[in-house]
Amino acid sequence: MTQNIKALPQGIYGLTSEPHSLGRSNIKVAQDILGAGVKILQYREKNKKAKQMFEECLILREMTREAGALFIVNDYLDIALAVDADGVHVGQDDLPVPCVRKIVGPSKIIGVSTHSPEQAQKAVTDGADYIGVGPIYATQTKTDVCAPVGLEYLRYVAENINLPFVAIGGIKKHNLAEVLRNGARTIALVTEIVGSPDIKGTIHELQQIIG
């Protein structure tokens, strides 16, 4: 039975990003992220065949269960269902949230990326369980990313949107405190973590800032 989400785990929201992982596999990176105590992990992969992604997600599903962490699959609803992930995360150009709900059912978590107040309000109306807020700063992680939304949109969501949310996009150790001051409680730092030679050590330093 999938966990019913009332709020995202506070702290770090982990993501895979193999092209930025210094030659390490998604599995190895996830092992270090979960080993550092992160309680939510999203599998984000754009360049592999479906079978390979499925096989990786099977392993990650077991790893997250053992770690007591939520497991979210980005974009691929079929793979999320096939491995019994806790949920899926979709973007503005993917299937609308109501359609996703019909496919994955009532018990799965649905997250949706948002870049404006209008998109955030629509996510609420459509029945999303949480939203992504970003990119806060310029990011090189995604090639099709929109312009940075900045801290103003982050503050808007913190003050006006009654959904759990994760701040994402260009967040690093040096600007993490600023993101926290503007209302974020769950934060995704992708390259800062997966691109670190010492993932566990970096996460520990970030957790000290988050408090």
| All structural domains of the chain with their residue ranges | 11-210
For the sheet with 40-43, list strands across it: 11-12, 186-188, 165-168, 130-133, 109-114, 87-90, 70-74, 40-43, 14-15
User: What pLDDT, on a 0 to 100 scale, did the predictor assign at position 144?
Assistant: 65
120/131 Cα distance (integer angstroms)? 7
Q: What Cα–Cα distance (Å) separates residue 96 from each residue in 6, 164, 202? A: 21, 19, 36
User: What pLDDT, on a 0 to 100 scale, did the predictor assign at position 139?
Assistant: 81
Quick one: tokens of 146? Answer: 């929109």
> Which amino acid is present at 93?
D
User: What pLDDT, on a 0 to 100 scale, did the predictor assign at position 143?
Assistant: 63
63/66 Cα distance (integer angstroms)? 5
Question: How deeply is 126 buried, as exposed, middle or buried, from its count of CB atoms within 10 A (0-12, 13-18, 19+)?
Answer: middle
- Would you name the residues annotated as active-site residues? 44, 113, 142
User: 145-177 pLDDT, tens per residue?
Assistant: 688 999 999 999 999 999 999 999 999 999 999
163/175 Cα distance (integer angstroms)? 24
The hierarchical CATH code for the domain 11-210 is 3.20.20.70
User: What pLDDT, on a 0 to 100 scale, did the predictor assign at position 67?
Assistant: 98
User: What pLDDT, on a 0 to 100 scale, did the predictor assign at position 1?
Assistant: 30
Q: Give the residues of the chain that fall short of pLDDT 50.
A: 1-4
User: What pLDDT, on a 0 to 100 scale, did the predictor assign at position 7?
Assistant: 66
